[in-house]
Amino acid sequence: MTDAIRIRGLAWKAGRDFAIQDMNLTVPRGAIYGFLGPNGAGKTSTIRLLLGMAKPYAGSIEVLGHAVPRDAHKALARIGYVPERLHLYPTLTVAESIRFRRAFYAGFDMAEADRLRRHFGLREHQLVSRLSKGESGKLMMLLALAQRPELLVLDEPTDGLDPVLRRELLASLVEYVHTHGATVFISSHLVHEQERICDWIGVMDRGRLIAELPMQDFRSGIKRLRVMAADPGNSASMNGEKTPFAISASAADAPFTVLSRERVSERMEAWAVRGWQPSMNEWFTRSAAEVREVLDLDLEESFVELLRGARGDGDGNGHGHNASRETL
């Protein structure tokens, strides 16, 4: 088995306003998989489904080789989970919280729990009710790591923490993965944070997985082009206005995907595209235009353009040759 998580054709609905639609998602074993998306995209709902906390209407979920929700209990015994809303008993101390968790997991490593407690600066006799948000987050991460899980599922684990605490928790996570060969599925809307640790990325928006690919491809797969019209007399309509470009707004026959398209001047446009290759300059030449500049985008800019393209917020409408979910 090469995949830690495998979801196919997943469908789930929450009331009238939100649904997960035909989701296919694959997390390779040993990967740190960043699950990106804006708030309300469906990331937490997806996590609840893969942990067996909710039942899908259609599709299949396999976690560590176990069918979920049918065999969720078998998968959960091998998973460390840190939820978005931290689940800790306020009347227990740090030491009591550790012993309580140990009772449920045969492989719980008390020596590692004690090492992490000291590393995180947590005092044994501190009451959970008196821990700060950052300290509570450290305790939840400690409990998950000390289980020695094969898979860590983390839902916004650093949300609301200061940069120092975020870096400390993520460093502990990376250390664990490198030492034990574990798999991590980490949900977040903090794109720059994922860039430092993840080797795979999935992007979710409005209940749909709109991209899934290696981090390196995500970094290099989206470009901004400065495109100039070669013939100012050859005009076309764009958003109801005349433009000197004889290229339709959707550019449906392009060998790349057009995510957004904006007017810069009378003869200049800025295009955000997926799947760009230098050889594609020829397509613009045939379309009476010229690429004057190709700009790299940082991860956050790429993320925003990807969302705009999927939503049709840009002029590109998200169409093009490489508009599949799996590749940029």
- Domain of residue 282: give its range: 221-311
Domain boundary at 151, 178, 213, which?
A: 213
pLDDT higher than threshold 50 for residue 319? no
Residues 42 and 175 occupy one common structural domain: yes
Same domain, 119 and 209: yes
Query: What pLDDT shows up at residue 31?
Result: 95
Whether residues 190 and 245 share a domain: the answer is no
Look at residues 188, 213, 238 and tell me which one is the last residue of a structural domain. 213
Summary mean pLDDT of the chain = 87
Residues 151 and 259 in one domain: no
11 & 52 share domain: yes
206 and 231 assigned to the same domain: no
% of the chain beyond a pLDDT of 70: 88
Given a cut of 80, whether residue 251 has pLDDT beyond it is no
Structure confidence at residue 317 (pLDDT): 53
Say if 320 falls within a structural domain: no
Q: Are 110 and 42 in a shared domain?
A: yes
325 is a domain residue: no
Please state the three-class secondary structure of the chain as a single string: CCEEEEEEEEEEEECCCEEEEEEEEEEECCCEEEEECCCCCCHHHHHHHHCCCCCCCEEEEEECCEEECCCHHHHHCCEEEECCCCCCCCCCEHHHHHHHHHCCCCCCCHHHHHHHHHHHCCCCCCEHHHCCHHHHHHHHHHHHHHCCCCEEEEECCCCCCCHHHHHHHHHHHHHHHHHHCCEEEEEECCHHHHHHHCCEEEEEECCEEEEEEEHHHHHHCEEEEEEEECCCCCCEEECCEEECCCCCCCCCCCCCEEEEEEECCCCEEEEEEECCCHHHHHHHHHCCEEEEEEEECCHHHHHHHHHHHHHCCCCCCCCECCCCCCCC
What is the residue whose two structure tokens read 């054709």?
Answer: 9
Same domain, yes or no: 237 and 202? no
Tell me, yes or no, whether 51 and 130 share the same domain.
yes
Using a 10 angstrom Cβ sphere, with 0-12 exposed, 13-18 middle and 19 or more buried, the burial of residue 74 is middle
Do the domain assignments include residue 243? yes
- pLDDT surpassing 50 at residue 213: yes
Residue 328 pLDDT level (bands cut at 50, 70, 90)? very low
In this predicted structure, the answer to whether residue 327 has a pLDDT above a threshold of 60 is no
> Are 90 and 200 found together in one domain?
yes
Highest mean predicted confidence (pLDDT) among 64-73, 129-138, 251-260: 64-73
Here the tokens at position 289 are: 């235009």
11 within a domain of the structure (yes/no): yes
pTM of the model: 0.85
Q: What's the pLDDT tens digit per position in 197-207?
A: 999 999 999 99
- The pLDDT value recorded for residue 192 is 80
* Pair (139, 180) in one structural domain: yes
Q: Would you say residue 323 lies in a domain?
A: no
**Shared-domain flag, residues 127 and 150:** yes
- Listed residue (181, 201, 180, 268) closest to 228, CA to CA: 268
317 falls within a domain: no
Read off the pLDDT of residues 284-315 as tens digits, 9 standing for 90 and up. 888 788 999 999 988 888 888 988 888 876 65
Using the 3D structure, point to which of 213, 248, 277 is the last residue of a domain.
213
